[in-house]
Amino acid sequence: MLAQIDVDFRTQIINDYQGVSECKICDKPEYLARIREVAFNFFQKNGFPTQKNEEWKYTPVKPYINEPFDIDKDKSQTFDPSQANYFGQHLPGYKIVLINGKLSVEHSQIPDAALCTIQPVMDVLRKPEVQERLTKSRNYRNNPFLAMNTALFTRGVFIHIPKNTQVDKPIHLIHYEVGEGKQFNISKNIIISESGSEAEIIESYYHDYNDAVSFRNSSTEILVEPNAVLDHIKLQKSDHNLRMVEHTEVEQKEDSLYNNYTFTLPGMRFVRNNLNIELDGSNIESHMYGLYLTNEDQLVDNHTLVNHKEPNCESNQLYKGILTDKSRAVFNGKVYVHSIAQKTNAFQQNNNILFSDNATIYTKPQLEIFADDVKCSHGSTIGQLDDEALFYLRARGLSKTDAQSLLVNAFAFDVTEKLRDEEIKAMLNEEIDQVMSGVIS
Amino acid sequence: MRTENEIIEDFTTREYEYGFVTDIDMDILPPGLNEEVIQFISAKKNEPDWLLEWRMKGYQAFLKSKMPEWQNFKAPDVDFQDISYYAAPKNQPKYESLDDVDPELLRTYDRLGIPLEEQKLLAGVAVDAVFDSVSIATTYKEELAKLGIIFCSMSEAVQNHPDLVRKYLGTVVPHSDNIYASLNTAVFSDGSFVYIPEGVRCPMELSTYFRINAQNTGQFERTLIIAEKDSYVSYLEGCTAPQRDENQLHAAVVELIAMEGAEIKYSTVQNWFPGDEDGKGGIYNFVTKRGICKGDRSKISWTQVETGSSITWKYPSVILKGDDSVGEFYSVAVTKGKQIADTGTKINHIGKNTKSRIISKGISAGQSNNSYRGLVQIGKGAHKARNFTQCDSLLIGNKCGAHTFPYIESRNQTAMLEHEATTSKIGEDQIFYLNQRGIDPEKAVALIVNGYAKEVLSKLPMEFAVEAKKLLALTLEGSVG
Amino acid sequence: MLQIKNLHATIDGNQIINGLNLEVKPGEIHAIMGPNGSGKSSLASVLAGREEFEVTDGTVTYKGMDLLDMDPEIRAREGVFLAFQYPVEIPGVSNISFLKTALDEIREHRKQEPLSARDFLNRTREMQKLVQFDSALTNRSLNEGFSGGEKKRNEIFQMAMLDPSLAILDETDSGLDIDALRIVADGVNKLHTPEKAFIIITHYQRLLEYIVPDFVHVLSGGKIVRSGDKSLALELEEKGYDWLREEIATS
């Protein structure tokens, strides 16, 4: 099934797997070899997803992967991150530098060990909590990129926030994708928020491959223990040559709170976000907020899966999109409520505005409910700015463009409003205002 | 006082009322599907060559098709060789008047509540009844003929109006559309044909009753309705089947064509045998229904009340081709026992200013699964297209499932789409309130469910609405939650 | 201030204003009454510049300028204020920041300095008090979740803030209980100066007990069929509109 892609890339994948599995000097726990084998066999047999796969129906990946990529070949020794500007640079926080997925300790500001531990994931493979994360069974059929990721990853970061600790500043991961030639970078990250802890994780992106394209296949495994709070903010803005699939698996335990904010701004040609949350305990709260502003030929796809397994939990999804030019966006959300998950509150909302006749939106909000005492709803709208509201604002003296940008901003700020981090909120609002004023004028 | 769960138990285990078998001499083809069978059916019906050729094309497409894989339940393995593709009452298959009909058959219809003989009760409803594969009687034919309306069985239409049939048959649902539509093309037995000439408002509801009686038979009727410019017709369809242990296949195709300014209203009350409590037996209801609003300002409206069948797989669709055309879908689907209903609609907006409205109400009880699956597609040229979709689910008990799978695609910036869905249960406080006013729990549930489904039921023609309400109450009897 | 001459307007091809003439001078209060569908609200919409309405004939001169030639926001900046019959809810746009933007635009247009934040807040407080508008509402999203009465009061509050020369109140009294009606009327009376003119569109005479008009006009079939002083309103209240319709039919 890998026949769909470039021969060189295919050879790379197979060689890379052999390299990973035969490596003599690597620390290779037995469990890892096993899961890699399962993942690789699946991937080799099934390959990258096609549009026949229901989860990839609107997302043809071939145009983005069919290149003679090199996998994880580091040619970035001389790279100096202090000279590279990225979106979110001025935010305060512990700057954690990841070059092509690999943790660079020398460039990073690692917080005090009492606050949290940050290590390369390859150094901690024998930790039981890491093994537990990595051996969770995963749905490869829906997520072929994850199968590839598990089979081949040799990079990534492990973040561990100890019990009852409040990390004083955000932990800011900066993903530098840098080097020469066409690169395919694979990384796997693990984040564990122990019980009662509180932390904020921000992710930013930087890409420079001297005009060559690169593909980022990243997966993140997150555990949020009882009473822990984790804010997770993705600031997806980079250049047109970066393409990526980010797969995030979150497991939450009772009384925990996880907030995911995913902002995708004009830039990257292809972004696919998978966000799967398992609510494995009662009194859990999960919030997922997404905003995508797309332009040119961008394709942005957000897939969420929320799995309510226990009673008395609440999940809430709000995804909004503004599409311009010939961009495309996909929202596919699924809420699953098991029969014992009574008193579940699950909400899902996806609203879109199209600013061009060449833009296309596909939205598919789904509910699968097996418990009767629940409050579940979803809604989805596609439309344009409300004429009535525009007239009202103009009748109060606002110019047409001002009225339009006020409404567009209000539409988008509805998502940024949910941020608890005021600095990011201000930065994003300014960015949205700037992007949209370019569209409206 | 009985507990909530006991009442649920009762309600969901009620037996199927229409599960009797009619003892009639039948002309049945042995099970099996091959080219000879198709030739036999075609010859038996004295069909022209082009129709046989078309059947063969359908058969070829069927052989190449695979079972769909997108559903969220395990699709049954249907053994197509184990089905008989032709069954007809032995006494002459065509009747000149009601007096010629086998009295046993008429009694069957009486039990079904279709008083063929008691035209008084039918006041204003013209009925075409299809028993297993053959159309039994079409009432009011002459009266309609005065207006130029053709309402007859498909077999008759093939004989008497071959040009019309040839012009339109398969134009909305092509022979290769999906595996069951291909199968239907190959072996369709009978069905109804309706033609409304330009400017004519059909003065009465046209109605068909379908009944599967014989064992191991499939029913493959094909219905074609053509509404010429500025005409109007309302068409009703009802279905029942006897209680049997084996699953029986019903794979019908319905095609609707609305020309400029025409309106077609198509209503279904489907009550095929749903199988017993353990999920044994029951009808597989795999139906392809599609209409096209060909002309400007035309309108097609589907209304369905689905309570029967062990598996229902059905998506009455509308292609909105003409400018300012309107498509509607109103559905109530009730499942209990181990029933599976996967139903919804597909609306394809092509013309300018096209509008669509989708209201779907799913009610699940027992261990059943009830899904809404829909697609709303806005094409590039569909300026100012509007869609509103609402799909609500009601769960009774926590062994059942309610699912919503809406697909929404838009390629036009002036289009506006709204989709809403909610899931709820019958509130204890609602039941208590009604109890306190002297209404017993069962009636209370029926009342609440009817209220919940009201928006859809109100779209049914009067005669059907009453029946549908009763049906909902009967279906859910014992499901109080 | 405002001269309407032989105004004709259509919406979706339907004639709704049909040869209307009206002159409003500074300081005057005009009441426009008429049965449902007589064109009252359409007149307000045309004057405010709603795009669905097409003016097919006639002129509207405002302070010597061609009003019909202006975009809605220019009309607003020149001092035409429409209190909407159905104020829209705009989630996510806060009442206060919207007002600041609108006021800044209007002041800039009038070549006035923008108000400092402090002056703006002082003015807000003052006007809130004047029209008895709850300060909690000021900080909420524009009209979102407001009751009918709160929305109408918000319109009067905005009118106070934006200081127009010509205010058109489109059925501001509809849906208000007597207390809310009195508050709205009080606000209007307090804001009334010899420079400002009001056009009050209403179906009932009720509001006119609190805001005394200089002129009362009756609109029917898209034109003014009768004008008079406030006694005309009382006459209408007593006899209803049918009486008028008959009179027109026979005349």
Q: Provide φ and ψ at C134, rounded to 5°.
A: -65, 125
Q: What is the pTM of this model?
A: 0.81
Chains within contact range of chain B (3+ C-beta pairs < 8 Å): A
Q: Report the gap between the CA of B393 and the closest CA in chain A (Å).
A: 9
Does the ipTM exceed 0.85? no
Which chain A residues touch B400 with a CB distance below 8 Å? 370, 372
Which chain A residues touch B5 with a CB distance below 8 Å? none
Residue C46 lies in a domain: yes
Is residue B8 over pLDDT 50? no
Contact yes or no for A410 and C93 at CB 8 A: yes
Residues A224-277 pLDDT 10s: 999 999 999 999 999 999 999 999 999 999 999 999 999 999 999 999 999 999
Residues B254-298 pLDDT 10s: 999 999 999 999 988 877 777 777 777 778 888 899 999 999 999
Chain A contact for B44 (CB, 8 A cutoff): no
Q: What CATH number does residue C25 fall under?
A: 3.40.50.300
List of residues 6+ apart from A148 with CB closer than 8 A: A13, A39, A43, A48, A186, A217
Which chain B residues touch A366 with a CB distance below 8 Å? 403-406
Whether A231 contacts A201, CB under 8 Å: yes
Across the A/C interface, how many CB contacts are shorter than 8 Å?
A: 72
Which chain B residues touch A370 with a CB distance below 8 Å? 398-402
Pick the residue of A351, A391, A396 with the most C CBs within 10 A to test the interface with C by mutation: A396
What's the one-letter identity of residue B349? H
Chains within contact range of chain A (3+ C-beta pairs < 8 Å): B, C
What pLDDT is stored for residue B1 in this prediction?
39
Residues A45-85 pLDDT 10s: 998 999 989 899 999 999 999 888 888 887 656 788 888 89
Which chain A residues touch B401 with a CB distance below 8 Å? 368-370
Residue C113 lies in a domain: no
Which chain C residues touch A395 with a CB distance below 8 Å? 48-49, 72-73, 75-76, 81-82, 84
Whether B253 contacts B61, CB under 8 Å: no
Please, what is the Cα angle at B398 between B397 and B399, to 5 degrees? 100
Is residue A27 over pLDDT 80? no
Contact yes or no for A406 and C162 at CB 8 A: no
Q: What is the mean pLDDT of residues B300-327?
A: 90
Contact yes or no for C91 and A410 at CB 8 A: yes
Q: What is the mean pLDDT of residues A184-211?
A: 93
Angle between helices B35-44 and B49-64 (to 10 degrees): 150
What pLDDT is stored for residue A205 in this prediction?
96
**Which residue is closest to A389 within chain C, CA to CA?**
C88
Angle between helices B462-476 and B441-452 (to 10 degrees): 130
Q: Which two tokens stand for residue C85?
A: 């019959």
Which chain B residues touch A340 with a CB distance below 8 Å? 398
Out of A339-348, B278-287, B306-315, pick the least confident.
Answer: B278-287
Q: Which two tokens stand for residue B441?
A: 């729990």
Q: Which two tokens stand for residue B103?
A: 């009295």
Contact yes or no for B423 and A354 at CB 8 A: no
Please name the member of C51, C92, C106 whose beta carbon is closest to the beta carbon of A410: C92
Please name the member of A54, A363, A370 whose beta carbon is closest to the beta carbon of B401: A370
Which chain A residues touch B408 with a CB distance below 8 Å? 361-364, 380, 382
Give dist(CA C116, CA A429) in Å, integer: 23
Considering only residues B131 and A16, tell me which one the structure prediction assigns the higher pLDDT: A16
Is residue B119 over pLDDT 50? no
Sign of the CA dihedral with B456 first, then B461, B467, and B469 last: positive
Residues C1-37 pLDDT 10s: 999 999 999 998 899 999 999 999 999 999 999 888 8
Contact yes or no for A414 and C51 at CB 8 A: no
Give dist(CA B61, CA A346) in Å, integer: 44
> Of chain A residues 2-61, which have a CB less than 8 A from chain B?
54, 58
Contact yes or no for A381 and B418 at CB 8 A: yes
What pLDDT is stored for residue B92 in this prediction?
45
Chain A contact for B382 (CB, 8 A cutoff): no
What pLDDT is stored for residue A82 in this prediction?
83
Residues above pLDDT 90, as percent of chain C: 33
Contact yes or no for A406 and C93 at CB 8 A: yes
**Which residue is closest to B418 within chain A, CA to CA?**
A381
- Host domain of residue C8: 2-92+164-250
What pLDDT is stored for residue A104 in this prediction?
92
Residues above pLDDT 90, as percent of chain B: 29
Out of A9-23, A260-274, C196-210, pick the least confident.
Answer: A9-23
> B touches C (3+ CB pairs < 8 Å)?
no
List of residues 6+ apart from C200 with CB closer than 8 A: C29, C30, C31, C32, C169, C172, C188, C207, C208, C211, C213
**Distance between alpha carbon B311 and the CA centroid of its chain, in Å?**
13
Confidence of residue B337 (pLDDT cuts 50, 70, 90): confident
Q: Report the gap between the CA of B356 and the closest CA in chain A (Å).
A: 14
Confidence of residue B12 (pLDDT cuts 50, 70, 90): very low
**Which residue is closest to B375 within chain A, CA to CA?**
A364
Contact yes or no for A377 and B420 at CB 8 A: yes
Query: How many domains in chain C?
Result: 1
Mean pLDDT of chain B: 78
Q: What is the mean pLDDT of residues B330-347?
A: 89
- Side-chain-side CA neighbours of A50 within 13 Å: the count stands at 8
What pLDDT is stored for residue B386 in this prediction?
94
Chain A contact for B70 (CB, 8 A cutoff): yes
Which chain C residues touch A404 with a CB distance below 8 Å? none
What pLDDT is stored for residue A230 in this prediction?
97
Number of CB atoms found within 10 A of residue C35's CB: 18
Residue C182: enclosing H or E segment and its boundaries? Answer: helix C178-191
DSSP string of A14-32?
A: HHHHHHHHH-SSS---HHH
Contact yes or no for C72 and A406 at CB 8 A: no
Please name the member of C48, C91, C93 whose beta carbon is closest to the beta carbon of A395: C48
**Which residue is closest to C108 within chain A, CA to CA?**
A397
Residues C88-97 pLDDT 10s: 887 777 788 7
List of residues 6+ apart from B108 with CB closer than 8 A: B20, B22, B131, B211, B213
Chain B contact for A339 (CB, 8 A cutoff): yes
Please name the member of B378, B397, B406 whose beta carbon is closest to the beta carbon of A372: B397
What pLDDT is stored for residue B65 in this prediction?
84
Going from N- to C-terminal start, the domains of chain A cover 4-280, 388-441
Q: What is the mean pLDDT of residues A147-168?
A: 95
Confidence of residue A189 (pLDDT cuts 50, 70, 90): very high
Residue C149 lies in a domain: no
What pLDDT is stored for residue B115 in this prediction?
46
Which chain A residues touch B418 with a CB distance below 8 Å? 379-381, 383
Contact yes or no for A54 and B409 at CB 8 A: no
> A touches B (3+ CB pairs < 8 Å)?
yes
Q: Which two tokens stand for residue A297?
A: 């030929």
Chain A contact for B407 (CB, 8 A cutoff): yes
Which chain B residues touch A379 with a CB distance below 8 Å? 418-421
Torsion of CA B117, B120, B121, B124, to 10 degrees: 110
Give dist(CA B323, CA B383) in Å, integer: 9
Q: Report the gap between the CA of B270 and the closest CA in chain A (Å).
A: 25
Question: Strands, E, within A309-414: which ranges?
Answer: 314-323, 328-337, 345-354, 360-369, 375-383
First to last CA, chain B: 14
Biggest CA pair distance of chain C = 62
Mean pLDDT of chain C: 87
Which chain A residues touch B413 with a CB distance below 8 Å? 354-357, 359, 384
Is residue B4 over pLDDT 80? no
Q: Report the gap between the CA of A317 and the closest CA in chain C (Å).
A: 17
Of A403-407, B243-247, B460-464, C198-202, give the range with the top mean pLDDT.
C198-202
Q: Report the gap between the CA of C154 and the closest CA in chain A (Å).
A: 13
The SS3 assignment for A317 reads strand
Which chain A residues touch B421 with a CB distance below 8 Å? 365, 367, 377-379
Q: What is the mean pLDDT of residues C174-203?
A: 88
